[in-house]
Structure 1
Amino acid sequence: MTGREPHVTEADLLSYVDGQLDAQRLGAVRAHLASNLADARKVTMWQQQNATLTALYGPVDTNIVPDRLDVYRIERRVRLERADWRNMAAAAVLILAVGMTGGWFGRGLMFEVTEPASIVADATQAHKLFASDVLHPVEVRADGGDPQNLPKWLSKRLDRKVNIPDLTRHGLSLVGGRVLPGSEGPAAQLMYEDKGGQRVTLYIVAAADSSDTAMRRSSVGSLETVSWDDEMIRCALVGNLPSDRMDAIAKDTYQQLS
């Protein structure tokens, strides 16, 4: 891009993907994409995500769906938040290493981080949106018949084998699950609930060439989040529970998914 060309921002790219640019800006963005391979790839990825949204939920009718529930607006907000976190990458991060046992002994550490990774931003947004829903918290309920229906459905959508962790030993029963559009493609959200009505969600996305990582703990408002990578998937556990309880649930979940 030369100095004479108009400056193209990420907001311009998002508007281009959503078909909201005027003719003048549209030409500038197209010229920018023709000479900027990285942004062209980014735009292609976002267009594929929008296609995934349409395939999962059909076209969005903004005359019916409230703005706060418009999945396209949610997706755009998440992407912008991710960009904000990247811009803050140089900020100081407080890291507290806590030894873990079991499968994480010797290599598995729990880190206290002040800035969430992209999966944490996606997972917390999804938790806020659906954990308080009374009528339709999930798409497929756990008590809906064939217990194998949910894992088969989620595995097909993510193109990965998705096991359903049993968290009853932690006082949590499975409510069900749903498929969501995420920043990295389709995502699975599993929802659990205790007898007091507290809900915990497990957010899972497919990841190519991923490897095991240490568990990372983040606080996003009143929510506690524990995230990790495990071979071909990335996971984030989200809930408003004490951190020690979240750590125990996350460790058990990791072991069952491995």
Structure 2
Amino acid sequence: MQNTKGLALEVRLSAYIDGEVNEAERKELEQLVARDDEARLVLEMLKAGNAFGNKAFEEFLHDPVPLSLVRRIKQGPGVNPKSERVVNAAPRQARLRLWPRALAASIALLLVGGSTGFIIGKTGNDGVAPVDMAAARTWLDDIADYHRIYSRQTAEHLVEVPAGNTKIESWLASSVGVNFALPDLSDKGLTFEGARLLVAAGKPVAQLMYKDEDGDVFAICFLKSRPGTTDGKMTESMRDDIAMISWQKAGAAYVVVGPSADANLQQLADAVSATI
């Protein structure tokens, strides 16, 4: 237990929240909070900051790993654990452990104050409700939702038309309005399973489904875009556990979809772009 007497009120109340004060000081602080409005407000702010910090840290732990980092981990040279040097840091003074809660409380108050000011600013002149600033969904969001569902289906339900059907190319080309050649990705360890016809952003989308030796599902999706579109620049994006590499070419938009842990998705997208 710590003796925080003589320290700032925020530090003392932080220790109180953490249960790091002795019984006598705990009672003293509780009596102070009961009779002092300012102390009560500080305590509530610290509790709010604590909750905010815990939530932010929890969300950070669930953030998807960037695709580029996955590649570096899988393709780069590994670190020999035996060669790593472990250094035991000297323990810091107890009071140094108390600052994160005060910082979290400050961040929480800053966010609350900033958002309140934004709302007031948006409604102060004409009373109109704030504009919804949420980003609009794109066709890639729809494709990610489809892939998350279909990739978990068993073999007989994975595709709408199985790989042996010779009319897949003509069917999808006429439905989507994009002529294409069915990519052979066997040299990438992928087997063509079949195809589906989807709707994304209000447009028909062709979906070609592949599987690797581990049973992971990869998809190539494309739809007709603006006439004259020739931008071939590839863009990486992630939707939780799904990685996507998209580009536009010759009046069509394409995306290769696969597990975020796959380190070779860029090479796969390059092969698809060159052959489709």
Query: Taking structure 2 as the reference length, what is the TM-score of the superposition?
Result: 0.49
Q: Secondary structure at the match of 1:84?
A: coil
Give 2:158's aligned residue: 137
Structure 2 residue runs without a partner (length 5+): 1-132
Q: Give the corresponding residue for 2:223.
A: 205
Are the equivalent residues in 2 in contact too, given 1:184–1:205 (CA < 8 A)? Answer: no
Q: 1:123 aligns to what?
A: 143
1:143: Cα distance to partner? 2.3
Alignment-mate amino acid for residue 141 of structure 1: P
Check 1:122–1:186 CA distance in 2 against 1; reply closer, same or farther (3 A cut): same
Counterpart selection for 1:194 from 209, 212, 220: 212
Aligned to 2:196: 178
Summarize deviations over 1:160-214 as a string: whole Å, max 9, x none. 2122111111100100001111214100111000111011011111112222231
SS in 2 for 1:211: coil
SS in structure 1 at match of 2:215: coil
Match for residue 222 of structure 1?
241
2:249 & 2:209 partners in 1: Cα distance?
20
Count of equivalent residues: 142
SS at 2:158 equivalent: coil
Instruction: List per-residue Cα deviations over 1:81-126 (Å, max 9, x = no partner).
Output: xx8324xxxxxxxxxxxxxxxxxxxxxxxxxxxxxx7132122111
Determine the C-alpha separation between the residues in 1 that align with 2:178 and 2:172.
8
Assess if the C-alpha contact under 8 Å between 1:138 and 1:191 holds in 2.
Answer: yes
Alpha-carbon distance in structure 1 between the residues aligned to 2:262 and 2:215: 18
Given residue 199 of structure 1, which amino acid in structure 2 is its aligned partner? V
- 1:245 counterpart = 2:264: yes
Specify the SS of the correspondent of 2:213: coil
Within 1, Cα distance between the matches of 2:239 and 2:164? 31
Please state if 1:231 is matched with 2:250. yes
Query: Which ranges in structure 1 are unaligned for 5 or more consecutive residues?
Result: 1-82, 87-116
Amino acid at match of 1:196: D
Tell me what 2:80 maps to.
Answer: none
Alignment partner of 2:157: what SS?
coil
Kindly indicate whether the alpha-carbon contact (under 8 Å) linking 1:119 and 1:236 is maintained by their aligned counterparts in 2: no
Greater share of helix: 2
Superposition RMSD on alpha carbons, in Å? 1.7
Q: Write the distance in 1 (CA, Å) between the matches of 2:202 and 2:253.
A: 10
Decide whether the 8 Å contact of 1:203 with 1:236 is kept in 2.
Answer: yes
Mapped partners of 2:134, 2:256: distance in 1: 22
TM-score of the two chains, using structure 1 as the length reference: 0.52
Question: Which residue identity does 2:172 align to in structure 1?
Answer: L
Amino acid at match of 2:143: A
In the alignment, is residue 255 of structure 1 matched against residue 266 of structure 2? no
Q: Tell me the residue number matched to 2:175.
A: 157
